[in-house]
Chain A
Amino acid sequence: MDKRRVRLLQLALLVFLVLGWEFSVRLGWVDAFFFSKPSEIALRIFEWFKSGEVYRHLWITLAETVLAFTSGTLVGVAFGLWLALSPVAAAVLDPFLKALNSVPRVILAPIFTLWFGLGIASKVALGFTLVFFIAFFNTYQGIREVSPVVLANARMLGAGRNQLLRHVYLPSAASWILSSLRTSVGFAVIGAVVGEYLGASAGLGYVISQAEGVFDTTSVFAGIVVLAVFVVLLDVAVSVVERRLLVWRPEPGQEGGTV
C-alpha cells in the first residue's frame, strides 16, 4: 500500500465525517444545540485566533504541560536509576510505589488545588504525578533489562561504576525512556487540562469548562479541536527528538543488513 493512497483515503474519510456532521445538523436530523456544526466551530476557532484571546490559554496550558513533563521525567528517571541499581531500596519501596500509583490522579486534583492554589502549580503537580510513574517504571525496566553480556563485556574492558552508568545503563534504558516520552506528553496534557477543568482561571481546560457552563457547545468543540491539534504537535516534536537520539537502533527488518 503506497503512502499517497493512504493519505488520500484518510482525507476522504475526514471530509465525509465533517460533511456528514454538517448536513445532519442542517437537515435537522440532530439538534444543533447539542452538537453544534463544523462550520460554526471552524468560525469560532478562527475568531479566537483572530482576536488573540486563545493565545493566553494556549500559553498557560503549554507551560503547565512542559513543566509537568520535564519535572516528572527528570525525577522519574533519577528514581528509576536509583532503585534499579540498589535492590534493597527497590525491595523496601516497592509496595509504597505500587500503592501510590494505584491512586486515581483525578482524586488528587482538589487536594492539589487546596495545597498549591488555583494557579499553574497545582496543574503541574497533577501532571507530575502522572508523568513521574511512567518515567520511573520505564527507566527501572530499561536498567533491569540491560544485557548481562554487554555489561560483563564493559566491565572486562575496565569500566568503573560511573562509566557503566554512562556508557551501558543509561543508553540501554534510553530506548525505554524515550519511547515512554510520547505517552508521558499525553499524560502531562491530561494533568494540565483536568486540573484546569476542575478549577482555574486560564488554560484550554478552563475555556472548555466555562463554555460547558453556559451550554455553548460550539466553544466546547472548538476547544477540543484546538487541544487535539496542540497534542499532535507536541507528539511530533517528541518523535523528532526520539529519532535523533536512537539512530543506533535497527529499523524493523534491518538487522545484519550488510554481509
Chain B
Amino acid sequence: MVRPTNSTPAVELLRVTQRFGEYTAVADVDLRVDEGEFVAVVGPTGCGKSTLLNMIAGLRPPAAGEVRVFGQSLEGLNRRAGYLFQADALLPWKTALGNVALGLSFAGTAREEAEARARGWLAKVGLGGFEDRYPHQLSGGMRKRVALAQVLIMDPKILLMDEPFSALDVQTRQLMENELLRLWEEDQKSVLFVTHDLEEAIALADRVVVMSAGPASRPIGNFPVSLERPRDVTEVRLTEAFLEIHREVWGLLREEVMRAHGQA
C-alpha cells in the first residue's frame, strides 16, 4: 500500500506513561499511526494495551508524555476517534436502531434523518430487519455488528478497537474480521487495533506492534505486514508470506508471553 510518508500522523504518542496509583502500566511509549494506516498492537495479557487506547480516546489522560491527534495535542475527549470496546457497550434500553442513531442524535441531527441513516448502517453490517430488537435479543456477533455500525455512522477519522471480537466464536470472529476489512477498505480510516491474538493482528493490519510484558510495558517490535489487499482473513492465514511474518513476530512475542506468565 502506498502512502504519503511526509503527512502528519493521525495519532502520535510521545514518551507517554500511564500509572494507576503505584502501578506503572505503560512507560515511555512512542507510537504513531499514519493516516489511513491499519496498525495492530499485540502483547501478553496485562501489557497495557487497553490503557493505550483509553489515553488516545482521551478517557484517561496520560500521567506523562503527550498524545497528538493530527498534529494537535489532545485535551479532553478525542472527538476524531470512534471506540469499539471489548465488552458490550450498547445501551441495553435502546433498540438496535436507537443505538446506531445515538451518536447522530447527540450531535443534534433530526430524529428522522438520524434513523434513516441508522437504518442504512444496520443494512450495511447485515442487520436489516433487526432494527427493533433490543441488545439482549441479539447474539454476541450481532451485537458487535450493531456496535460497529454505532461507531462508524459517526464517520470517525480514527478507529480504536479493543479486542472487539475476542468474545466471539472462531467462525463468527473471522466473518466479523472480513466485514471490518471490507468496511475499512471503503474509506481507509486510521485504525489502532488491540488484540492478544497474533494471527488476527497479522491478518488485519498493515503493521504489527509488539508490546513487552507489564508492568511498565512499551513497544519492543515493529513489523510491517506486506500482504496483498484485499485480504480474506481465513485464506491469508494459509499463505507462506503470512507464516513467515508469523514466525518472525512470534519469536519476539513468545518471550514476553512467557515472562507475563512467569510473573502471574
| Interface, chain A (partner B; CB < 8 A) | 147, 149-150, 152-160, 163, 167-168, 171-172, 174, 247-250, 254-259
Give 23 pairs: A residue, B residue, CB < 8 Å, sorted on A: A149-B85, A150-B90, A152-B59, A152-B85, A153-B85, A154-B102, A156-B77, A156-B82, A158-B79, A158-B103, A158-B154, A159-B102, A159-B106, A167-B91, A174-B93, A247-B134, A248-B95, A248-B135, A249-B136, A254-B137, A256-B140, A257-B136, A258-B138
Determine the chain A residues whose CB is within 8 A of the CB of B151 once the complex forms.
Answer: 157
Determine which of A156, A158, A248 lies in contact with B93 in the assembled complex, contact meaning CB atoms within 8 Å. A248
The CA of A167 and the CA of B91, in the complex, are separated in Å by 8
Nearest Cβ on chain A to B74's Cβ, whole angstroms: 13
The CA of A138 and the CA of B133, in the complex, are separated in Å by 28
The 6 closest A-B pairs by CB, nearest first: A153-B89, A250-B136, A157-B103, A171-B93, A158-B106, A248-B93
Known: A152-B83, A157-B103, A171-B91. A259 touches B139 (CB 8 A): yes
Determine the chain B residues whose CB is within 8 A of the CB of A256 once the complex forms.
Answer: 136, 138-140
Excluding A152-B89, A159-B106, 11 further A-B contacts by CB distance (< 8 Å) are A153-B91, A155-B77, A157-B102, A158-B106, A172-B93, A249-B93, A255-B136, A256-B138, A257-B136, A257-B137, A259-B139
- Quick check: is B107 within 8 A (CB to CB) of the other chain? yes
The CA of A160 and the CA of B133, in the complex, are separated in Å by 26
Cβ A157 vs Cβ B154 within 8 A: yes
Determine the chain A residues whose CB is within 8 A of the CB of B16 once the complex forms.
Answer: none
Determine the chain A residues whose CB is within 8 A of the CB of B136 once the complex forms.
Answer: 248-250, 254-257
In chain B between 55 and 69, which residues have their CB closer than 8 angstroms to a CB of chain A? 57, 59
Cβ B89 vs Cβ A158 within 8 A: no
Cβ A163 vs Cβ B139 within 8 A: no
Nearest Cβ on chain B to A218's Cβ, whole angstroms: 50
Determine the chain B residues whose CB is within 8 A of the CB of A255 once the complex forms.
Answer: 136
Contact with A along B144-160 (1 / 0, CB 8 A): 00000011001000000
Cβ B106 vs Cβ A160 within 8 A: yes
Known: A247-B134, A256-B138, A256-B139. A168 touches B91 (CB 8 A): yes
- Quick check: is B87 within 8 A (CB to CB) of the other chain? yes
Nearest Cβ on chain A to B119's Cβ, whole angstroms: 18
Nearest Cβ on chain B to A213's Cβ, whole angstroms: 52
- Quick check: is B88 within 8 A (CB to CB) of the other chain? yes
Cβ A248 vs Cβ B106 within 8 A: no
- Quick check: is B71 within 8 A (CB to CB) of the other chain? no
Q: Which of A153, A158, A247, A259 has the most CB of B within 10 A?
A: A153
The CA of A155 and the CA of B133, in the complex, are separated in Å by 23
Determine the chain B residues whose CB is within 8 A of the CB of A155 once the complex forms.
Answer: 59, 77
Q: Which partner residue on chain A sits nearest B108 by CB separation? A: A158
The CA of A96 and the CA of B135, in the complex, are separated in Å by 40
The CA of A247 and the CA of B93, in the complex, are separated in Å by 8
Nearest Cβ on chain A to B149's Cβ, whole angstroms: 12
The CA of A155 and the CA of B82, in the complex, are separated in Å by 10
Known: A157-B150, A158-B107, A248-B92. A258 touches B139 (CB 8 A): yes
Q: Which partner residue on chain A sits nearest B137 by CB separation? A: A257
